[in-house]
Amino acid sequence: MTGDERGGRLEVIAGPMFAGKTEELVRRVHRAQVARRGVLVVAHELDTRSGPGRVASHSGLAVPSRSVRAAAEIPALLTAGTELLAVDEAQFFGPDLVDVATELADAGVVVVVAGLSVTFDGRPFAPLPALMAVAESVTKLTAVCTVCGRDAAFHVRSGATPADDALAPTPGHVGGSESYEARCRRHRAG
């Protein structure tokens, strides 16, 4: 079968922290598994939050994954039966992920990439903007602003250290020691 017949495509899931990007990635992986598609889930070695060998959402949804140090290592992990490749925390992989994801989609793989579209100071976060530009589908998610409950397209550093979190847990920090909070446009500046 040629790549074209297999229907390769690139799907991007983007947004700030806590937007549900990993939940959506895991949902698509589960659907592919129900359909008996060959699935490969890849994480970056720098992403230590979920623990080794798994991708996990803040709400506890998880799937087994392989970890790599660079985008260039991903193609070697695919087998002839890999029909869906899911990559979480795309921002860790840098610009090289754009060519790797494009080449695999061209070769017939459904490539689903989730990652942060903004930095903590509200700027576009590479390579998500470039991936969004060349994708068949883009799902842009928002979190809930921890100040007012509006749609949050941003996240900010809350200033809390992991030690502070242990002493006084902050709303929006679910089971983690991240010092970030989701914020709407109005509340991203303090």
Q: Is the peptide bond before 127 cis (omega within 30 degrees of 0)?
A: yes
Which residue from 62, 130, 138, 144 is in contact with ligand ADP, where contact means CB under 6 A?
Answer: 144
For residue 135, give both structure tokens: 């994708």
For residue 182, give both structure tokens: 């989701």
Q: Does 65 bind Mg ion (CB under 5 A)?
A: no
Helix (H) or strand (E) holding 82: none
Partner from Mg ion, ligand ADP, none contacting 48, C-beta within 5 to 8 A by type: none
Q: Does 18 bind ligand ADP (CB under 6 A)?
A: yes
Residue 112: HSE in the Cβ half-sphere, 13 Å Cα cutoff: 23
Task: Given the residues 11, 83, 89, 178, select the one marked as catalytic.
Answer: 89
Q: How far is the CB of 70 from Mg ion (least distance, A)?
A: 20
> Is 89 an annotated catalytic residue?
yes
Q: Which is nearer to Mg ion, 55 or 84 (CB)?
A: 55
CA–CA dist 43, 46 (Å, integer):
8
Which residue from 30, 31, 45, 59 is in contact with ligand ADP, where contact means CB under 6 A?
Answer: 59
For residue 39, give both structure tokens: 């699935």
Task: Write each residue from 7 to 46 as x if it is in contact with Mg ion (CB under 5 A), else as -, in one continuous string.
Answer: --------------xx------------------------
**Phi, psi dihedrals of residue 91, rounded to the nearest 5°:** -65, -20
Residues that bind Mg ion (CB under 5 A): 21-22
